[in-house]
Amino acid sequence: MTHRLKITAQLITLACVAGLLALLVWKLGHQQHPPRVGAVAPAFSLRRLDGPGKVSLASYRGRPVVLNFWASWCEPCKSEAKVLERDWTSYHARGVVFLGVDYHDLASDARRFVSAHELTFTMLDDGSGRVTGRYGISQVPETYVVSRQGRIVAHLAGPITDPSFAGKFRSALAKAAA
């Protein structure tokens, strides 16, 4: 390898590293943080995963809402699905709405997940990642419980089947439904 070619390769490598570093700094500077408990839940409108049309969070004002962010490739989401479905069937008679928001997934994989786990509550597709970004989602599963007034009652960053979250989830549901 000639000296000139070696210098050119080093400059290209340096430029690539500088570009990646700049991208990292930009991403960290523009990263959205999760909304705090007590704050108004960020509004959104998303396409239904399980049928035609869109769903708006605002259309559920006056009703408590459970927002569960999940993905078909997420192992804890698989174990959590059965519990969410059970809670949905238990709480929907009390007016509690459950919304599943699919996170960074292929719609076909998400539909297979919903079918395999026999989930019957409303599922939404956030293909753009805009809503998950507004909620500061960095992992799945994550669950928000929203009060009748549209305020966040709880944010659980992990599966609700985790012993440290199970009691908090039940408490948040009771508070949101009150």
Q: Is the pLDDT of residue 2 over 90?
A: no
What does the DSSP 8-state code read for residue 78?
H
Lowest mean pLDDT among 2-6, 25-29, 73-77, 124-128: 25-29
> In b/e form, how buried is each residue of 97-129, taking b as 16+ CB within 10 angstroms?
bbbbbbbebeeeebbebbeebebebbbbbbbee
Residue 67's nearest CA partner among 138, 169, 162, 165 is 169
Predicted local confidence at residue 84, as pLDDT:
96
pLDDT tens digits, 27-57: 545 556 788 999 999 999 999 998 899 999 9
pLDDT tens digits, 89-127: 999 999 999 999 998 889 899 999 999 999 999 999 998
Q: Mean pLDDT, to the nearest integer, of 122-144?
A: 92
Lowest mean pLDDT among 30-44, 132-146, 149-163: 30-44
Confidence tier at 19 by pLDDT (50, 70, 90): confident
Share of the chain above pLDDT 90, in %: 62
Q: Mean pLDDT, to the nearest integer, of 145-174?
A: 91
> In b/e form, how buried is each residue of 41-60, taking b as 16+ CB within 10 angstroms?
bbebebeebbeeeebebeeb
Residue 125's nearest CA partner among 144, 146, 110 is 110
- Using alpha carbons, list the distances in angstroms from residue 141 to 28, 80, 101, 163, 165: 22, 8, 10, 15, 12
Q: Between vectors from CA 74 to CA 68 and to CA 77, what angle results, nearest 5°?
A: 40
Q: Is the pLDDT of residue 138 over 90?
A: no
Predicted local confidence at residue 83, as pLDDT:
94
pTM beyond 0.85, yes or no: no
Predicted local confidence at residue 31, as pLDDT:
55
**Beta carbons of 55 and 48 less than 8 angstroms apart:** yes
